[in-house]
Every structure is written in C-alpha cells, then in structure tokens.
Structure 1
Amino acid sequence: MTSPTWSRPGRPPAIRAALLPAALLALLLALLVGVAPSPAPAARAAAAPAPASAPARPNIVLLMVDDMRADDLRFMPRTRRLIGGEGVTFSRSFSPNPLCCPARASALTGRYTHNHRVFHVYAPWGFRSFDDRSTVATWLQHAGYATIHLGKYLNGYGFMREPGATSGSSVHYVPPGWTQWRASLDGGLPPGHPARGSTYEFFDTTLSRNGEGFQPLEGQYQTRAYGRIAREIVTRRAAGARPFYLQVAFTAPHNGGPIEPDDPGDVKRSDGKLEHFGTTARPDDVKGRFDRTLTAAPGASWHDPDFSDKPAYLAVRPPLNDAERAAMLEETRQRAEALWVVDQQVERTIETLRATGELDRTLVVFTSDNGFYLGEQRFRHGKVFPHEPSIRVPLLMRGPGIPAGAIRRDPVMSMDLAPTFAAAAGVVPPATVDGQSVLSVARNGDVGWQRGVLTESRPEGSIVRDTDEAGRPLGGGGTADIRYAIGVRTAHFLYVDLATGEEELYDLRTDPEQYVNLAGRPEYAATQALLREVLSRLRACDGAECRQPLPPELAGG
C-alpha cells in the first residue's frame, strides 16, 4: 500500500550521506583519527580488523520492540527459530534503566543514564535533552555505512524542540549520522494537518521522510507497515555497494490507541482507587489467538505473604484483587497478539535478507528497550524499577562467525549494543563509552560474570538525595543526585539504594521472585557492605570505570 507524502518545499537536505567511496573514506579516517568536525565527544572511527571468520564490513540489522519482557519470547516462535536458533540467545540481558527514553539513549550511545543525561521521557528530559552528536549512527556513517532508522526514536520527537534549541518543534529535525531517516512523530503537527499521526496510534502513525516531508500510515497497522518498509529498505540497500546499518523500532507491545472494545480500562483496586489498564492495539485477525492457552498473567501468582520488609514505594501497594487479575490477563493476551504480528515481520525481514543474498553477511539482533511488570511486586503493569521483570529483556543475535543454537550467560546491557555494532564494523568507539562489545562472547563463548550492572531510575517527584551523583555530601555546593533508585545487579544479588534512605537486597539463588528483602539482616551484612562498595564505584562511573571487575566474592555465577 502506497501512502501519500507531504513535503516541505525549499528546505535543504537535513542529512548528510557519506559521499566518499568507502576505501577513500577509510584511508582518510585512518589518517585523521581523533579529528572530528563535531564539538561533541567525537566518535573515533579508527578502522580495526574484523575476525577472519566474518566479512570485514557486515550489514547490521537491529530489531527493537517496546516494553517486551524476556519471557514474552514464548509468543515469538519464528524469532526464536530464525535468530536464536541460527545464532545465540543471551539469557542474562538487562536494561539498566528500564524506561523507554533512557534505555534507547543508552543503546544509541553506549552510555549509562548518568552520562547521557536523559533521565526521563518528559521535559526537561526526553528527546530534547539528548546530545546526539556521537552515536552508533555517526560512528558507522563515518566508517562508510549507510545508516537507516525506522520507527520509534526518543520520546518527544516531533513536538519537543530540537536538542540545543530554545524553542520550536522537531518535526523536520534529523539527528546527525543518519543517511535515511524514517522516524515516527510523537506529535508536533498542528490539528487538521493531513499527515498528523502519532507513534502511539497503531492505525494512524506518521513517519518523517528524511526531515523533508511526512508519510502518514493512516489505516495501516503500524507493525505491518514498518515490516513492509523495512523489507523495501533492505531490498534497495542490498543493490548498493555500501554495507548498511538498519534499526527498526517497533512500538508494540507498548500501550497505545485506538481504544478497543475488549480493553479493560479502569478497574477498582482493593483500596478503592482506580487503576487504569492501558493496552496495546492489534489487528482483528490476531485477536483471540492466545485466549485458550493464556489463562493468567505471568505475575498473577506472585504472592509475598509478608510485605512489611519492603520499602515504602512498594509497601503502599495493595494486594491484587480478582478484577485486576482479569484485567492483567487481558493486557497480557493483547501484548502477546501484538508480538505475534512482530514475529511475522521478523520472519519476513529474514526472508528478504536471504532472497537478496545478504543474510550470510548480516548481523541481525532482536531485543527490547526494557521489560515490564505484570503483577510482580504488586505492580499491575509498568517498568522503571530494577526488579527482574522490569530490567530483563530478550536478546538474540545471529550473523557471521556466530554459532547456531548457542546460549550465552554472560551479562549484556543496553549500552553494550552500540560498541558491539562498532566492533562488527571494525570501528573503535569513543573512550567515553561505558558498555563493551559482546561480539566475541557471541562468537566464542562466555568469559564469566565479571562486571556489575549499575541500575538507575528516573526522578520520583521532588525526592532528591542529599549527595551528588558520586555520593559526596552536598555541603560543598554540588548538584543533587536526582535518581530515585540506584543499585547493582550481580549474578546472585540485587542491591538497591533508594533516595529515601531505604535499601533492598535480594538473593536470587534462593529467592528468584524477590520476595524477601534481606537489607539489614545480620547474616547478609558482609554481602551488603560489599555491594555498597561496588555501587560507590559505579554510581558515577565513566568509560572504562564502568567495566571494572567485580570483587571475587561477587564475580562468576
């Protein structure tokens, strides 16, 4: 189906494609490494040799969904077979700040939230706060790649002002480094505009056409439209001489419009308050697909008989009632139906890569920006906090040199994606990158859990710490740390330090459901002290500091 296009006449191109032949560009980069036109922390695009078993410059395709739990992979058999079955499944993949905008900024930059500074989806953060001058797109474009983004970008794109601007919108903005820009608009077009749509309207989405115009997808189901456009891009790029980097960002299974007759809506909790159950949207032909097999939400049976050991932000949550469990079940079924459609598009994308002869020289990665609660810790739905359903995400990877059907248990984080793609392309990322490439782990096997995973969260209301981000008292006039929850995840423990002064500690070996808060227990005092020490080193880390090894007592597993 062809969509009409609305253009903005008289505007010069908003993106700069790589104009030099790849070989000449590589030579210039080798001579000029470290000299970048951007005033931002520069992407040091020095070429490095790729492994002998892989092509020197593979294509890279990133398929990212929104709010998908790790255990939601059960609804995606094609993805498991075609990517995990033909590559590796990372069973310990984490989103250290499980919220859309911070997590996506980490995936783009390879940096933790406290370094990229996108703390929330709303102003003064969101899209407008993102320094986009050094991302995986700029690194790869400088190395001669064609770089393409399709779908959801950062929250606020379209209606928020451009980064660095003081007013206006971003409807015509194209971030540096993108050869082809097909991002969905969260808003920004005036009422009555023929192309007005939204990222979160699944049958009325609007895409940017390289900042010059718009492509409305009104009447088309977003996931299927993205799949079709992605296949068109792959076919077109396969005919070119340059390798390509394509990231496709599906909004599903995030909640969005339109409101449907079977949506649960508002449900009364046991404390009398109303809980709104927002759901995703899906096409008619998949509705009811999981009604017989899905009989309960994954967290419906989560039951902590003694909630008194929990910090206040959890303790105030009442137990779930039957009406809420029914609403969670409907939400779970709708999410599964939406992911089934994504699964179809993944299969067709792989088929297109195969038909064009590109599959064997393409690194294909499937993941989510963050996980999602569905009853655990008495969260009816949502994310943000660092418990397992929220921070665990699926991560599957296939490509040159990667064995088929392997499982990897080393920890992987959102900020590892960008340096992994850089390594595949033979590019050295900036020294400020906090993550590390996991390409060698994918190809050669685990090396053991050696790093701590720093967990971070958005601000919560007006609650701030009485220290700066490094933990130093504010008496000297520093800036307060606005993160509500920071913590450390290791192979066996989750430790959380809250801005209220409360703490959480869970032993995942004996309590994988995270029922019992062990903070303050004498028998865990030594472990808690050790985790506090690790957190003190990580909470404001930068670059290689974020990759320092754990103490032997916490490593491995």
Structure 2
Amino acid sequence: MKKILLPFFVLCYLLVSCQEAEVAPRPNILFIMSDDHSQRAIHAYGQGLLDKVYFPNMERLAREGALFKRSFVTNSICAPSRAVLLTGKYSHLNGKVDNVLPFNWDQLTYPKLLQEAGYATALIGKIHLAGKPQGYDYSLTLPGQGSYYNPDFIKNGEEKVSFEGHCEALIPEFVVDWLEKDWDKTKPFAINYHTKAPHRNWMAEEKYLDYLEDEEFAFPDNFFDDYAGRGTAAREQEMEIVDNMYWGWDMKFEANPFTGEPSRLAAPFGRMTEEQMAAWNAVYGPKNEAFLQEKPTGEALAKFKYHRYLRDYLKVIKSVDDGIGKVLDYLEANHLLDNTIVVYTSDQGFYLGEHGWYDKRFMYEQSLSTPLLVRYPREINPGTVVEDMVVNVDHAPTLLDYAGVEKPAEMQGESWRALAAGEDVPWRDAMYYHYYEYPGPHSVKRHYGVRTDRYKLIHFYHDIDEWELYDLEADPNEMNSVYGDPNYAEVQEALHSRLEELREQYGDSDALNQQFIEQSLSKN
C-alpha cells in the first residue's frame, strides 16, 4: 500500500507546486529617474561631500537592496539618456544623439513590450522627448524641462493641464493617484516615475527654502583647476561655476549685481503666486542684499556662488527624497512593496564643483557615473554592493528580464538582474561612451571613449583631434592625461584596440559621426 500511495502523494505535491508557480504574481516595476543627480549627493556612496546631509528614502533603498558603485551612462545629456533607457540602444542607433534632433517614438521600447505582455504602464513626470509617448496606458508629462513652480503637464500626449504647487510635491502625488484610482489591478504595474529635480535652475520647495542655508561646504580639491594637465576640450568648455553661471537663472538675482544689467536668463519668478514669492524673498532677499553691499571678489565670490549653487541643488533633492518616501509608503501600506522592483537612478551624473564645474557632458567620472539603487527583497539581499560596470543601455533588458519578457535582438544592453542577486556571472570588462552635442550649450567638444576598471581613453574630434588617457587608480580626479607617456605605451595600445572592438560591437563609426554632425549643424 505504501508503495502505491507514495508516488500518488508525490504527484499531488508536484501538481500543487506547479499551480502555485503558475499563479505566482509577476513583479511590479517602479522605475524612478531623477535628472542630473550626482553620486556624491547620496550618502551611501561614501564620497565625502554629504557628511551633514542625509536623504533617508534613498538611503533606505541602498540599505534594503543593492547599490551599484560603477553605474555609467552612454551619453551624458538629458534627452539622449532617456532615449537609451527606453530603447536599450546606443544613441547612434535610436537616433537621439543630442537634445536637438527628434526622437522616434515609433521604434521599439521596453514599455511597449511590457504593455504587450500584460503590464499596466504609466509615465509620470519628466521625459524630455517631444511627441506623444507610446507604450503607456497613461502619461502625465512635463513639457520640455518643465517648471518647478505651478507647472504645466501634458496628459496622454495631448491635453495641457496646469497645477498650483511645487513640481516635486506634485509628481509623487500623481503616481499615488494613478495607483489608487486608475491602475487596472488585474495586471502588474510598470511605472516610469521621473522627477524634474535636481535639474537646473534648482528652485526649492517652500518648506525647504532655508534648508542648509547655515551649512558650510569645503571646495572640492580641484575647484580652482587650471586644466593644465588636459587638452583643448577641458580649457574651452563653458560650464564653470564662477565664470559661466547666470546671475538670474542660477544665482537668483534680478540683475547682475556688479553692472546692474538684467540677467541674460532670468529666474522664472513670474510663475509664482504672491505667497510663494513672499516666502522666497524672506529667505533670499536678505542674503542678496548683503551680497550687494559687499560685492565680494576672488575666492570670496567663488565661495558665494558655490554655496548658492550647492545648497539649492541639495534642497530640491530633499524634495525628491520626500516624494520617493511618499510612494514607498503607499506601496508598503497596500502590501505591494515587496513584490515591486524599485529602481532609483538618474539620467546622468553632475559636477558639484569638481574642476570648478557644474553640468555634465564630459566622459570624466562625475558626469559619466550615475546613482543606481535597486530594492527587490525576493531576489536582492539587503546591503548588496555591485562592483561590476553597468550602463544605462542595460536597464531595458533588465526590466524585461524581471518581467519574464525576452529581450529583442536589437537591444544592445545586458540584464544586470543576476548581478543584483549577488551571482558571479560573466560580465563586461569595458564600457563605451559617445557625446555629440557640439556646437551647443556649454561648448563641450564631441568625444567618444572607453573605460575599463582602471583606465579611460577619450578621443575628442570634429574641430579638434586630441586624445586623453587616464589612470584612474593613480589619478582618480583625472587631472593629468598620460596619453603619449612611454610608461603607458602598452596600456594605450591595448585601449585603442579595445575601443575599436567596442565601436564595431555597437555599430558606431566615423561615417555615422559625420552624418550626425551634418544633421546637427543644419538644425543650428
């Protein structure tokens, strides 16, 4: 009897197990992308800037999930980075190489594939890609860069709607509202939750106007960089905090305090209500008056500009962190959080005074690197740290992998799912980068390059032909190119070979470069 019943019970157990596996819920996906967020502005990355500043919800993601230390972008500028995210393809193949040329929404994107696979999809916040978003059941997006105060949004790519309040308080409310009221709960959800902050011009929410105003920050060691160790591109950029920031847009003055002339680009105070403007003036007015009385020069002027910039930048991140907390709290209260893959990243990094700069664009570390925090307790152990190099071209394949959707052949990235789970899997030994927007804002030359674990080779082209090589172990701040140094001859030769291999692998070429140069120049 026992010999007959045992196989029967085993069969029943296997059938039940298979049924349970079949009905196990697919994970929800919450992909959070901010704009221009430096790794140095997250305490968990441990880079020394923010000993006094702590963003608890971002730190929670790092503590309860995985932190990717070497998270990079393929093209450090807003719209192209977002196109890479959606398509899983490099800029030269998805067509969005800069902020000028159009993005083709008709091409394959990962939200379209998730939608076809039965996910309820939503895009809420900034996308910075003109045209009607495709692949989403619902979209509520900022037009272009959007506004911090009393912003306009475009609903489902067609209807303009306006709201009173601060952008970073509104966007998480819209995410929660969609989950509460519009999400088809018979399906898993996939949300692109994209913030405006901390993109320039850093206008803080009212409750954070005086946040950090009494805190002092040391200059980065290379703030007063003279660019002697690099070539033409570093010297001819126009992204220096002291020399290139606008008195209105960036420093929040109504006119140039030294000449009295109206600012070249004024802050958009006209969008603010009288109450909002009064709150603003209560904090900034006395400080601006004190500056007008003193009119500091030299290092004192640099210190003022650096602190005005950095404090404003961190203030808007504080609101981003609040928004993340609001959405996480909603998911947790509704028993959704642990079956939701939560990804936090930015479209690229940003300079916080390194080399004396703000903005991004260069292949140097601060703009090449971007935060990447991932929480998914079903697969990712708390406190996981990933040292492997991942690139934003990998995000689309990864999200498809989690959803059980096969990656299409045209996507060029690889899924980092196994890395997040702590598995030892074969992975890339180098990453490829290409920046195109020149001539353009901030005058950063066109360049492409390769980064390995230790070295970086960059080629600046178009109106110059210059190479730079950095030993990131010996020179982590990238102050002195060793290109042409006989001590690095073998490394240099190997990197040239690796660069050409990557260009061939990803389908990039000089012919494509020339094509995009001609298209961009025709638009300017």
TM-score (norm 2): 0.75
Shift, 1:342, TM fit: 0.7
In the alignment, which of 124, 127, 131 is matched to residue 150 of structure 1?
124
Equivalent pair of 2:140/2:156 in contact (CA under 8 Å): yes
Equivalent pair of 1:100/1:369 in contact (CA under 8 Å): yes
In the alignment, which of 136, 141, 144 is matched to residue 183 of structure 1?
141
Structure 1 residue aligned with 2:42: 73
Q: Quick one: structure 1 residues 419 and 510, their matched pair in 2 at CA, closer, same or farther if it must change by over 3 Å?
A: same
Equivalent pair of 2:233/2:445 in contact (CA under 8 Å): no
Shift, 1:520, TM fit: 0.6
Would you identify which runs of 4 or more consecutive aligned residues in structure 1 move more than 6 Å? Answer: none
Shift, 1:388, TM fit: 0.7
Structure 2 residue aligned with 1:225: 170
Instruction: Note if 1:484 corresponds to 2:406.
Output: no
Structure 1 residue aligned with 2:460: 498
Structure 2 residue aligned with 1:311: 231
In the alignment, which of 102, 113, 117 is matched to residue 139 of structure 1?
113
Partner SS, residue 310 of structure 1: coil
> Larger deviation: 66-75 or 203-212?
203-212
Structure 2 residue aligned with 1:103: 81
Whole-Å Cα distance in 2 between the matches of residues 67 and 364 of structure 1? 19
Equivalent pair of 2:85/2:396 in contact (CA under 8 Å): yes
Whole-Å Cα distance in 2 between the matches of residues 54 and 342 of structure 1? 35
Equivalent pair of 1:290/1:333 in contact (CA under 8 Å): yes
Equivalent pair of 1:97/1:384 in contact (CA under 8 Å): yes
Shift, 1:234, TM fit: 2.3
Equivalent pair of 2:418/2:425 in contact (CA under 8 Å): no
Shift, 1:446, TM fit: 5.0
Whole-Å Cα distance in 2 between the matches of residues 530 and 351 of structure 1? 50
Deviations 1:396-454 (A, max 9, x none): 00113111111111111111111110000000121111111101110124547633110
Q: Quick one: structure 1 residues 56 and 522, their matched pair in 2 at CA, closer, same or farther if it must change by over 3 Å?
A: farther
Structure 2 residue aligned with 1:281: 203
In the alignment, which of 365, 375, 380 is matched to residue 398 of structure 1?
375
In the alignment, which of 377, 382, 400 is matched to residue 355 of structure 2?
377
Aligned partner letter, 2:172 = G
Deviations 1:192-228 (A, max 9, x none): xxxxxxx4311132222223523212x3100100011
Equivalent pair of 1:370/1:391 in contact (CA under 8 Å): yes
In the alignment, which of 303, 306, 321 is matched to residue 343 of structure 1?
321
Aligned partner letter, 1:408 = V
Equivalent pair of 1:454/1:489 in contact (CA under 8 Å): yes
Equivalent pair of 1:234/1:352 in contact (CA under 8 Å): no
Partner SS, residue 410 of structure 1: strand
Shift, 1:293, TM fit: 3.4
Whole-Å Cα distance in 1 between the matches of residues 470 and 315 of structure 2? 33
Whole-Å Cα distance in 2 between the matches of residues 535 and 410 of structure 1? 19
Whole-Å Cα distance in 2 between the matches of residues 85 and 235 of structure 1? 27
Q: Quick one: structure 1 residues 53 and 92, their matched pair in 2 at CA, closer, same or farther if it must change by over 3 Å?
A: farther
Deviations 1:345-378 (A, max 9, x none): 1111111001111111100000000111233234
Aligned partner letter, 2:179 = V
Whole-Å Cα distance in 2 between the matches of residues 329 and 453 of structure 1? 34
Aligned partner letter, 2:217 = T
Structure 2 residue aligned with 1:276: none
Partner SS, residue 386 of structure 1: coil
Deviations 1:480-508 (A, max 9, x none): xx982000011101110110221111111
Partner SS, residue 193 of structure 2: strand
Deviations 1:319-355 (A, max 9, x none): 9652234212211110101000111111111110011
Structure 1 residue aligned with 2:409: 431
Aligned partner letter, 1:154 = H
Whole-Å Cα distance in 1 between the matches of residues 87 and 481 of structure 2? 34
Deviations 1:137-164 (A, max 9, x none): 1110010101100011124x2xxxxxxx
Aligned partner letter, 2:177 = E
Whole-Å Cα distance in 2 between the matches of residues 392 and 440 of structure 1? 21
Equivalent pair of 2:384/2:422 in contact (CA under 8 Å): no
Whole-Å Cα distance in 2 between the matches of residues 234 and 485 of structure 1? 42
Whole-Å Cα distance in 2 between the matches of residues 296 and 83 of structure 1? 28
Q: What are the equivalent positions in structure 2 for 1:295-310 lying under 5 Å apart?
A: 295-296=217-218, 299=220, 301-304=222-225, 307-310=227-230
Equivalent pair of 1:484/1:498 in contact (CA under 8 Å): yes
Whole-Å Cα distance in 1 between the matches of residues 411 and 349 of structure 2? 23
Equivalent pair of 2:31/2:342 in contact (CA under 8 Å): yes
Whole-Å Cα distance in 2 between the matches of residues 54 and 309 of structure 1? 60
Q: Which runs of 5+ in 2 are unaligned?
A: 1-17, 44-52, 243-297, 508-524
Shift, 1:248, TM fit: 0.8
Partner SS, residue 92 of structure 1: strand
Aligned partner letter, 1:461 = P
Q: Which runs of 5+ in 1 are unaligned?
A: 1-48, 158-169, 187-198, 256-278, 463-481, 544-557
Aligned partner letter, 2:335 = G
Deviations 1:47-94 (A, max 9, x none): xx9xx8995510000111001101111355322333111111111111
Instruction: Note if 1:63 corresponds to 2:32.
Output: yes
Instruction: Note if 1:328 corresponds to 2:301.
Output: no
Equivalent pair of 1:238/1:356 in contact (CA under 8 Å): no
> Larger deviation: 315-324 or 337-346?
315-324
Aligned partner letter, 1:142 = E
Structure 2 residue aligned with 1:248: 193
Whole-Å Cα distance in 2 between the matches of residues 201 and 349 of structure 1? 21
Q: Whose helix proportion is higher, 1 or 2?
A: 2
Shift, 1:239, TM fit: 6.4
TM-score (norm 1): 0.70
Shift, 1:183, TM fit: 1.5
Equivalent pair of 1:78/1:346 in contact (CA under 8 Å): no
Whole-Å Cα distance in 2 between the matches of residues 375 and 281 of structure 1? 19
Equivalent pair of 2:146/2:196 in contact (CA under 8 Å): yes
Structure 2 residue aligned with 1:4: none
Q: Quick one: structure 1 residues 483 and 419, their matched pair in 2 at CA, closer, same or farther if it must change by over 3 Å?
A: farther
Q: Quick one: structure 1 residues 76 and 413, their matched pair in 2 at CA, closer, same or farther if it must change by over 3 Å?
A: farther
Max radius of gyration: which structure? Answer: 2
Structure 1 residue aligned with 2:4: none
Whole-Å Cα distance in 2 between the matches of residues 81 and 374 of structure 1? 20
* Count of residues in Structure 1 that have an aligned counterpart in Structure 2: 417
Whole-Å Cα distance in 1 between the matches of residues 203 and 181 of structure 2? 30
Partner SS, residue 214 of structure 2: coil
Instruction: Note if 1:362 corresponds to 2:340.
Output: yes
Aligned partner letter, 1:208 = I
Structure 1 residue aligned with 2:6: none
Fraction of identical pairs, as percent: 28
Aligned partner letter, 1:511 = D
Structure 2 residue aligned with 1:210: 156
Whole-Å Cα distance in 2 between the matches of residues 55 and 444 of structure 1? 23
Q: Quick one: structure 1 residues 72 and 310, their matched pair in 2 at CA, closer, same or farther if it must change by over 3 Å?
A: same
Partner SS, residue 350 of structure 1: helix
